[in-house]
Amino acid sequence: MQNFKYSQSAGLVNFETFHWICRIVLHATVLVKCCTEAHVTVDPPSHLEIYDPGYLGMLDISWHAADRKGDCAVIYELQYQNGAGNRWKSIRTKHLKHRAAFNLSNEISVKIRTQLKGPCINGSQIWSDWREANYSVPVTGTPESKIGHFQCIYYNWELLKCSWSPGKLHNLTSNYELQYWHKGLSHKMICDSYQSTNGINTGCIFQSEQLEHYTDFFVCVTGTAGSLPIRPSYFVFQLQDIVKPAAPEELSVFKTESNEMLLEWKLPEGTVPLRCLKFEIQYKEENDIWKTEPEQRETMSVIDKSNSSNIFCARVRGKVNMFCAADGFWSDWSPEICWKATFAKKGLYIFGGCIAVLTACTIAAALAVRNKRHFSKKLQHKAKELVLEMDGPMRLN
């Protein structure tokens, strides 16, 4: 039998050889993978289209599928933008259609690409180029016919009022028409309760049964059927974001033993729950300016009063909070309520009484002096008359 002897130098040579073999295999594997992936490409979706079903801003975006590559998963990244300067919104989906809300006053831009991921490219992922499309409604009517200062306020979560200022109409028979739609409707509707100024529609009133909360509400103000074209105006909002609650009621102000002012009030009548409201308090002392307390969610508050103040006035207003809405309007202020120190009133009465007493005493003293002088003169006159009477008989004797 042949005997093998271990050689340290031979061991080192064998180890270096093994290391080089591993590096060659690794590089070859990476090279094969890169060459394989370099030949795998994916196309963007085809037939990208934007379709308006007539819902005043709710549009459908559709596309055709890209070619599938073996057992790889295909996902689409859709991005859309509503007007220049607006942020791109992005979603990823396996579907071939997406519905989104837009303001049709602006041009709409859409782009989409394909993502390929899976075993066909050794577990990695690749992207296609973007495919783009644009959409805008046809422009009709003159720019001066368009309305201005459009605003909608949802009063106390019960009554929606939308108003606008009219543009310049070139025909006496022309008028404005408000159209609206939300997801609870099968088709767009027309306002049935207008507010008018000199025969021109300048507002619309909606009852609560016509409305849908926490969903997009689409509005278009355009011309009535048969009139000359009017430049349309489009708007989209959600009702809970434009609520104006009623003012808080029955505000009362009390002074505590620790020289603090306790404020309490009640919720206004309506359908806005307490959990959806926040309150702002303002107060002032003597002739001071209004000071504002931090916003709060309770219907009572305690405020420190300065020791020298004898008058404390307060008022409060409400607004829908961030737990129920993204925005809204402040209510009107509650009636101003004032607290006045009792001792101040007594002191005023005492001071007034003292003044009256002093005045009476002064008058009485003046009258007494006057009467005394008059009585003294009268006595002197009597004395003179008596002396004259006594002198007369003496002279006769």
Decide yes or no: CATH 2.40.170.20 for domain 46-135.
no
| Domains 46-135 and 143-243 alike in fold | yes
**In terms of CATH, what superfamily is 245-345?**
Immunoglobulins (2.60.40.10)
Q: What's the pLDDT score for residue 50?
A: 97
Q: What is the pLDDT of residue 14?
A: 64
* Contact status, residue 132 vs residue 48, Cβ threshold 8 Å: yes
CA dist 181 → 59, 218, 397 (Å)? 13, 5, 135
Provide the pLDDT confidence category of residue 259 given band limits of 50, 70 and 90: confident
pLDDT per residue over 326-344, tens digit each?
Answer: 999 999 999 999 999 875 4
Q: Identify the weakest region by mean pLDDT among 46-60, 188-202, 376-390.
A: 376-390
pLDDT digits over 60-110, tens only?
Answer: 999 998 776 667 888 999 999 998 778 999 999 999 999 999 999 999 999
Kindly give the pairing relationship between strand 176-181 and strand 217-223: antiparallel
Model confidence pLDDT, tens digit, residues 267-286:
988 889 899 999 999 999 98
Check pLDDT > 70 for residue 237: yes
What is the pTM for the complete model shown? 0.73
* Residue-wise pLDDT tens digits, 118-146: 887 777 888 999 999 999 999 899 999 99
- pLDDT attached to residue 377: 54
The domain spans of the chain are 46-135, 143-243, 245-345
Place of tokens 């603090």: 260
Other Cβ atoms within 10 Å of 321 Cβ, number: 15
Cβ–Cβ < 8 Å for 82, 59? no
Per the model's pLDDT, the better-predicted residue between 251 and 268 turns out to be 251
87 three-class SS: coil
**52 Cβ contact partners less than 8 Å away, ≥ 6 residues apart:** 59, 60, 135, 137
Query: What percent of the chain stands above pLDDT 90?
Result: 58
Q: What is the average pLDDT score of the chain?
A: 83
**pLDDT at position 9:** 47
CATH fold label, 143-243: Immunoglobulin-like (2.60.40)
Q: Give phi and psi for 310, each to the nearest 5.
A: -105, -5
Tell me the pLDDT tens digit for each residue of 1-37.
Answer: 444 444 444 444 465 676 667 676 666 555 545 544 4
- Give backbone dihedrals phi and psi of 244, rounded to 5 degrees, phi first: -120, 105
> Are 325 and 352 in contact, with CB atoms under 8 Å apart?
no
